[in-house]
Chains A and B, each alone.
Chain A
Amino acid sequence: MPLNLLIVDDSATMRRMVSRTLQMSGLPVGTIREAANGREGLEALEQASVDVVFVDINMPVMNGMEMIDAIRKDPRWLSLPIVVISTESSATRIEDVRRRGVQFIHKPFTPERVREVVQTLLKEVEHARV
């Protein structure tokens, strides 16, 4: 079944790169929606069904960590798969991300890495349902 995806990044170029990488990854990509910050990302989640969210950390208006916290507080999205894609590679920051049940992809990234992470996330969600 095609995956409906949401890419949240303040850089339009990076959103296009993530979108292109997803198309190259071999994942069954359905609709790709985009948002330029966490606030717009939350609005996009309200408007459409999304299977996986890809989010940057540092963004204006609402950053990625704030968006993730808002998502996890909402009962509808407690188990929504989220992937942080960031330039940051600080172990401190990665630990913060993982503590929220979120996967982390470091920039630069490859289609293979994106596929691996998404497949892992989807398996975890499937296991949680069983």
Chain B
Amino acid sequence: MRVSEEQLAAVAKEVLETMAFAFEMPGEDAPVTGDLLRATVDFRGPFCGALSLTLPRAVMPDLVVNMLGVGEEEIPPEQDQRDAIGELANVICGNIVQVLAGPQPVFELAPPKIDLPKPTPASTPTGENVTHARISLEAGLAEVTLLLQPDNAQTHGTAHMAAPAPNAR
């Protein structure tokens, strides 16, 4: 089972556009660099894995303003920026697992985990169970990574992250 880069990008674009009014712009398909913010959502169901959304920190104030409708004259608090990227990752994750699994299965999504990744290639997981999509936004590149566990994943949690807690978002 594998999601294509195009499928992942399509879901991410729809979420970014609908929730944050962030639209894709023509741009280079280069690695996401600079100061970054990443939200990771683990999921568990018929298969397990994790979805992460990485954005340049410079993008976040505009996204938060768009998402929450707060005034543009102030830089949104750090917590709002973290919550906003977490919500975006959560919604992308919830949508992409249904693209993969079809309409019937129910998945449990864990609360988003936020961190500040280093912009080095080594921090990006690779392999046949990993799909990356990059989206060029006006203020910088966004990267979405879907990590699917091997078949026995349901009982062992994801490779990099703990299994989601029940009753999570």
Contacts and interface: CB of A to CB of B under 8 A. Distances in A.
B121 interface: no
Instruction: Say what secondary structure dominates the interface of chain B.
Output: helix
B91 A13 contact: no
Secondary structure of the A side of the interface?
loop
Interface stretch (A44-52, A73-81, A90-98): A90-98
A130 B69 CA distance: 39
Interface string B68-98: 1100000000001001101100110111001
Contacts of A20: 68-69
A10 B168 CA distance: 10
Nearest to A96: B106
Contacts of A87: 90-91, 93-95, 109, 169
B106 A108 contact: no
B106 A58 contact: no
B83 A11 contact: yes
A14 B94 CA distance: 15
Interface in A17-47: 17, 20, 23
A16 B14 CA distance: 20
A79 to B, nearest CB: 28
Given A13-B86, A14-B87, A108 B104 contact: no
A13 B103 contact: no
Interface string B2-36: 00000000000011001100000000000000000
A90 B103 contact: yes
A90 B14 contact: no
B83 A90 contact: no
A57 to B, nearest CB: 9
A90 B105 contact: yes
A110 interface: yes
Given A12-B83, A13-B80, A108-B19, A92 B106 contact: yes
Nearest to A86: B94
A11 B169 contact: yes
Nearest to B11: A108
A56 B18 CA distance: 18
6 contacts: A58-B109, A59-B167, A87-B90, A88-B107, A89-B98, A108-B14
Given A87-B109, A107-B94, A110-B18, 16 more contacts: A11-B87, A13-B80, A13-B84, A17-B68, A23-B69, A87-B93, A87-B169, A89-B94, A89-B95, A90-B104, A90-B105, A92-B105, A108-B14, A108-B18, A108-B19, A109-B18
